[in-house]
Amino acid sequence: MAEAVRCGHGDLAYLVLGGTAWTLRSFFMGQGLAGYFQPWVLGAVTVCDLETFITRANQVRL
């Protein structure tokens, strides 16, 4: 996803995670992925839950 943004196929990519009953939710929703990606990737991909994504979509903030 980050590579697609970097190549000009959009301004931002969203990784939307649904559900509440998974063990690593706080890891993915927090800064857990920061140690696995280069800084430019973190700026290109937004990780959010389904409710946040729907709210942003309804407010035309994607």
Question: Cα–Cα distances in Å, from 7 out to 40, 45, 51, 53?
Answer: 12, 13, 28, 23
When divided into structural domains, the chain yields a total of: 1
Give the structural domain span for 43.
2-58
**Which residues pair with residue 62 across a beta bridge?**
none
pTM value is 0.73
SS3 label, residue 52: helix
28: Cα within 13 Å, side-chain hemisphere:
15
What does the block give as tokens for 34? 């920061």
| Interatomic CA distance for residues 22 and 30, integer angstroms | 14
pLDDT digits (tens, 9 = 90+) for 3-56: 888 899 888 899 898 887 888 888 888 888 888 888 878 788 888 899 999 999
Q: How many residues does the structure list for the chain?
A: 62
